Amino acid sequence: MVYLHKGRSLSRIAVIGSGQIGPDIALYFAKVLAPYGVQIVVVDVAAEALAKGKAKLEKKLAKGVESKAFTQEQQTQMLGAVAWTTEYPQIRGAELVVEAATENQDLKGRIFAQVEGLVGGDAILASNSSHLEPEAIFAGVKDRRRTTVIHYFFPAERNPIVEVVPGKDTDPTVTAWLLSFYEAIGKVPIQVRSRYGYALDPIFEGVFQAALLLADQGVATPKQIDAVQTKALGMTVGSFTAMNLTGGNPITAVGLDHYTSKIGPWFRTPASLKAAVAGKKAWETPQRGEAVDVPAELAQRITDELRGAYFGLCGEVIDAGLVSIADFDMALELALDMKPAFRFMNELGTAEALRLVQAYAAKHPGFPVARCIQEHGRANRPFEIPVVLRRDADGVAVLTIRRPKVLNALNQGVFDEILARCKAAEADPAVQAIVLTGFGTKAFVSGADVNFLAGIRSREQGEATSRASQRVVSAIEALRKPVVCAMNGLAFGGGNELAMACTLRIARKGQKVFVGQPEPNLGIIPGAGGTQRLPRLIGLERAAGILRTARPISSAQALEYGLISEEVDGDLVTRAVQIARELASGKRPRPQMPKGPLAGVPPQLPPVELGHLSRKVDEILCRALLDGARTTLAEGIEIETRAFGEVCATKDMRIGVENFLAHGPRAPAPFVHA
């Protein structure tokens, strides 16, 4: 058995190094690739390190079984997929090598000199370096076209971000394959231009330096700074706590000294950090649940300085052209657990952000005041941070909704951005058709962002919200150019409503949980056309069953019902592009959504088992279904809009949304049927 992805097959992966991060990388590969029979070989010259790494992996797998993250059978499969050895020849046949040894350039060079002679000429050679440039790591490798840095973040088996950092000799097709591969196995990869430290570590370590300078100046204690920092930068833990958790003092001390010459003169390793490394000292930080007293005036000073440092450091990365703002903001949130800097600056106002950066730079010689922050701040102009990305493939605009933290959930801003991208593609003479898809493999769109729904407080707000969504969905349906929806994962609620507005839909094969309208679980009904388009596509009876019970269907059922036209066992987007071209050229007939009344609409819908669901909400939903089915699609859309407003005025809507926010999607809401 092998894992196939875009022309490459993987049967064996080598992980070099069984220290802090190597076993975690191996664990992740085992979790996603063991079902395909892929073997992961972990190599370390020290038997003791191998034993510790194996014990670490086994402990995490045992905890996974205990927490029901996976079954004992899956645990056995993953354990069997990982081999541990001190013998480098055991990596023969590996198609991908990920080196995770100590951050030492000479050591990494020696490892790859040995590895290159053992694996095939097509094998990809990657280093999980946190700082070193790929040009330095792979200087001794004969064929550098297949080399790159793949930087994982702590903990590697759970943190979704990986920085893919090609060197100047890396073949672009290798970079593209790795970005696609990591997305396919559930990670969130970003491409970063080569520079010491890449894009994220100078932020992690630079913000720590800013915090440490405050402590060294006697402004506050590390404990106080950590307590303020969590609120100031939206972090779960402060920099001192993060250093303790990751054991980051030694590597940060080395990194900061190199940044002085590689990035700028503000960076340096403070004497207090050198002392902490020499003495193997942990920082004094707040204990879990501990209330730390910080006077308001002091808290404001710490907040302003840390924000000024954070914004300035992030602006420098963008000025250096290392990464796009969209990728960077996403990675700051997911990898470093920080409030995304550019979205944060937009919220505060970019003029205020510039003031904070300039104030910090005035106190700290050599600190950068980034050009991008100056330009936006002087005009108080917000940064553009797209979440709907476009790439063109031979005359087809491929639009990808990318919000991995919320499984590509929709809010009004995302709806509006989708429409803007579609209209731009419609107006582009080089574009013949459009493909709409989602990032990753879990979800096309998981539904509406519940925080967005929680803001609805009245019937009028509900109607306005529904109309705003309907305006976007109907505009997509009305586009002259065909739109193919490539449903890469589940499509719940607004995700399915968005998909139904497209010309046709295809899906990744074998999705057991695929399409659903879970709105009744929240005490609401669909508000973006679900009650009107679903009956016209699959019939009133089947649609009513899906809508009223909130139970999802599989991709196989969706194909049987006619909701999708094809299940794809292979590259979904490539197939969608092919279909889009066929539709645009007339080679394939363009399906039309039925716009008139449905035939044979019954006076009422048959009863269904509602369980805990609200009878009041079901009453409104049934009325919208029946009344809409008896009239045109356009009139039915207006019926749904009014019904959505009506349901937003019920007690059960508030109960459902608040229950979801407090307890999550699996806790049944205590509806009162009113």
Where exactly are the structural domains of the chain? Answer: 3-191, 201-379, 388-663
Residue 450 has pLDDT above 90, yes or no: no
Residue 400 has pLDDT above 90, yes or no: yes
Residues of the chain above pLDDT 90, percent:
96
Instruction: Give the pLDDT band (50/70/90) at residue 89.
Output: very high
- pLDDT value, residue 453: 84
Residue 629 has pLDDT above 90, yes or no: yes
Q: In sequence order, which residues have a C-beta less than 8 Å from that of residue 436 and are 6 or more positions away?
A: 399, 401, 418, 422, 483, 484, 485, 486, 498, 499, 502
- List pLDDT tens digits, range 260-275: 999 999 999 999 999 9
CATH architecture of 201-379: Orthogonal Bundle (1.10)
Residue 635 has pLDDT above 90, yes or no: yes
Residue 246 has pLDDT above 90, yes or no: no
Average pLDDT of the residues of the chain: 96
- List pLDDT tens digits, range 542-578: 999 999 999 999 999 999 999 999 999 989 999 999 9
Q: Is 189 exposed, middle or buried (0-12, 13-18, 19+ CB in 10 A)?
A: buried
Average pLDDT over residues 503-525: 96
Residue 451 has pLDDT above 90, yes or no: no
- pLDDT value, residue 525: 97
**Topology classification of domain 388-663:** 2-enoyl-CoA Hydratase; Chain A, domain 1 (3.90.226)
H helix intervals, 458-593: 459-477, 494-500, 530-538, 540-549, 555-561, 572-585
The region that residue 398 occupies, defined by phi over 0 for left and psi between -120 and 50 for alpha, beta otherwise, is beta
Q: Which long-range contacts (CB under 8 A, 24 or more apart) does 7-12 make?
A: 7/177, 8/95, 8/122, 8/177, 8/181, 9/95, 10/36, 10/38, 10/95, 10/96, 11/37, 11/38, 11/39, 11/93, 11/95, 12/38, 12/39, 12/40, 12/41, 12/91, 12/93, 12/94, 12/95
- pLDDT value, residue 1: 80
Residue 454 has pLDDT above 90, yes or no: no
pTM of the predicted protein model: 0.94
Q: In sequence order, which residues have a C-beta less than 8 Å from that of residue 280 and are 6 or more positions away?
A: none
- List pLDDT tens digits, range 209-243: 999 999 999 999 999 999 999 999 999 999 999 99
- List pLDDT tens digits, range 175-188: 999 999 999 999 99
Average pLDDT over residues 470-494: 96
Instruction: Give the pLDDT band (50/70/90) at residue 449.
Output: confident
- pLDDT value, residue 376: 98
- pLDDT value, residue 144: 97
Instruction: Give the pLDDT band (50/70/90) at residue 172.
Output: very high
Tokens of 279: 């003495």
- pLDDT value, residue 55: 97
Given a contact cutoff of 8 angstroms between Cβ atoms, the answer to whether 536 and 598 are in contact is yes
Which sequence positions are flagged as catalytic?
497, 519
Instruction: Give the pLDDT band (50/70/90) at residue 666.
Output: confident
H helix intervals, 263-370: 271-278, 296-319, 325-335, 341-348, 350-363
- pLDDT value, residue 288: 84
- List pLDDT tens digits, range 380-394: 999 999 999 999 998
Residue 287 has pLDDT above 90, yes or no: no
Residues of the chain above pLDDT 70, percent:
100
- Superfamily covering domain 3-191: NAD(P)-binding Rossmann-like Domain (3.40.50.720)
Tokens of 598: 């449905």
Q: For residues 254 and 453, which has the higher predicted lDDT (pLDDT)?
A: 254
Provide the 3-class DSSP secondary structure of residue 390.
Answer: strand
Tokens of 228: 């303020």
- List pLDDT tens digits, range 104-131: 999 999 999 999 999 999 999 999 999 9
- pLDDT value, residue 364: 97
